[in-house]
Structure 1
Amino acid sequence: MPLLSPSVREVPVVRVRGDDAEDSHDQLATEEPLEIRLRFGAGRDARVQRLAVTMRTPGDDLALALGFLHGEGVIRSPDDVIDVAHTPVQGGRRDPNIVVVTLADGVRVNLSRLERHVYTTSSCGVCGKASLEAVATVGAPALPAGPSLLPATIHGLPDALRQHQAVFEQTGGLHAAALFTETGRLVRLREDVGRHNAVDKLVGSFLTAGESVPAEHGVLVSGRASFELVQKALMAGVPVLAAVGAPSSLAVDLADEHGVTLLGFVRDGRFNVYTGAARIAEPEA
């Protein structure tokens, strides 16, 4: 039997078909808490602040932490981060469920704006916010005019996404977020039990490599498009957000306000354009 990744856990299960039952095993998407902490300064003067706990699928934790902070406007570029690592514990080991991000000197953080309740669930990254004002997008970059997407390109995105969802094929229980080009090529994909975590991991994967998210690309998500996903795409400078499911009213409002092209129900050869229709190209006659 092949070894399972940290993203997958095998559990005993009783399978019932009709009147017949048999003992078996099933593979599930792992869900565990991840605590994100900020470190200010160095040495004896260092100060550590616990920021948030999110339920996530283990893997790409450092990218998740940086993507989360980027989406919240805490960091703007890789230069804002000195170090990101799982926190050390006794015996030279590291705690797999705590990530500490050391910020560069000069990075100012409004912790009161980021105040959350005890934790955020894997299905919602905004619901732990302490106030409505705290979810307002801060300092979003200007979006590029492109890409220009043909309907046929958009129609092909869900199948391309499914073909690259390795852990979903094992468990059927993970969301995915993928960056795609104007021609529909998937550049990078990340999976997680939470929709917002998948986007954070995707954005953070560029930050951990010292890069920015490429311009004039789009992001496809496997579920619905919520306010927070539009916010994360906007903060990353992504001009197109396509969702297999439905958008929320707040998602449409935010996308319309900032010029994001928001597509919903991208599946089965159809999709709805809610905002930013100028980026959808007319098919050639």
Structure 2
Amino acid sequence: MGWVTERRRVIRIRDGAVSTRPDTLVAEEPLEIRLGGKPLAITMRTPGDDFALAAGFLVSEGVLASAGELANIVYCAGATGEGGSNSYNVVDVRLAEGVPVPDITLERNVYTTSSCGLCGKASLDAVRTTTRWPLDTSPETPVRIEPATLSALPDRLRSAQRVFERTGGLHAAALFTTDGELLDIREDVGRHNAVDKIVGRALQQGQLPLSSCVLMVSGRASFELVQKAVMAGIPVLAAVSAPSSLAVDLAVETGLTLVGFLRGASMNVYAGEHRLALSAAASTD
């Protein structure tokens, strides 16, 4: 198995003083995801929770929705590195008997990166047509969260990031209750991978849909992260940075509550404000 961190020699310059020291870096390696033996996607990720990452990716693609639809996930014995040892960089997902295997065409094959992830119109169409748990868009929805609870999430996310403290080079995704209780947290060089690991673990544990949870992510809120939240049935997505225009469009369309620039007591609510317990009516300029 790959290491989450690696050590490298660096030359450190501080106030004109030069020294040599070892530095701890986050590991980044490719992971090929196969479905029924056929290549489906390659992503750059931090090793660890690879099976959960693959399962979560297939949830976001509309292939899986419950643990019963998953037969198993294995590392491919043919993934060999130098000396013939298994590189643990290829996983094969097998669906349960009777679960249809989607036609994997060239257009569906996906290359993802740790920085961006999966993008494209095909994914937008997939969200519109295959999500199995439409979000409740009623103003009387039982999922409600206090702004003060949201405000506390970034610090709780950061304090739970164990590898980030050593490397400064990891994103994180965390799952909270609407009362702010931390349920799970995963770290990765890619935001989308961290979310896939969260969702995949929930699928493996039979917890989908995550209809009473809040997903908190470091960095920005991209279209893909909104997609993954919607496909897992998560009603609230919060990010410490900005959302993209397409992320907001998809949040509005699907009924997701999308919060950006969540820093301290300040935040911007871009969609789904009916889930926030606001003390006063919002004003418009």
The alignment's TM-score, normalised by the length of structure 1, stands at: 0.88
Aligned twin of 1:33 = 30
Q: Write out aligned runs for 1:82-101 (5 A).
A: 82-89=71-78, 94-101=86-93
TM-superposed deviation, 1:113 = 8.0
1:272 aligns with one of 264, 268, 275: 268
Please state whether the residue corresponding to 1:27 is helix, strand or coil. Answer: strand
Paired with 1:200 and 1:133, the residues of 2 have a C-alpha distance of: 18
Aligned twin of 1:215 = 211
- Give ranges in structure 2 of 5+ residues lacking alignment: 281-285
TM-superposed deviation, 1:20 = 1.1
Does residue 112 of structure 1 match 2:105? yes
Distance change >3 Å, CA 113–CA 256, structure 1 → 2: farther
Moved more, 106-115 or 28-37: 106-115
TM-superposed deviation, 1:283 = 4.4
1:157-202 CA-to-partner distances (Å, cap 9, x unmatched) read 1111011000111101100001111111111101100010000000
Distance change >3 Å, CA 150–CA 227, structure 1 → 2: same
Does residue 158 of structure 1 match 2:130? no
- Aligned residue pairs total 268
Contact 2:210 2:232 in 1 (8 A): no
1:72 aligns with one of 51, 55, 61: 61
1:65-95 CA-to-partner distances (Å, cap 9, x unmatched) read 0000100101121111101121124899644
Please state whether the residue corresponding to 1:88 is helix, strand or coil. Answer: coil
1:124 aligns with one of 116, 126, 137: 116
- Give ranges in structure 1 of 5+ residues lacking alignment: 40-47
Aligned twin of 1:45 = none
Paired with 2:41 and 2:18, the residues of 1 have a C-alpha distance of: 43
Contact 2:65 2:208 in 1 (8 A): no
Structure 1 runs (4+) deviating above 6 angstroms are 90-93
Give % identity: 51
Paired letter, 1:29: V
The alignment's TM-score, normalised by the length of structure 2, stands at: 0.88
Paired with 1:50 and 1:135, the residues of 2 have a C-alpha distance of: 22
Paired with 2:226 and 2:103, the residues of 1 have a C-alpha distance of: 22
1:44-85 CA-to-partner distances (Å, cap 9, x unmatched) read xxxx20111100000000000000010010112111110112
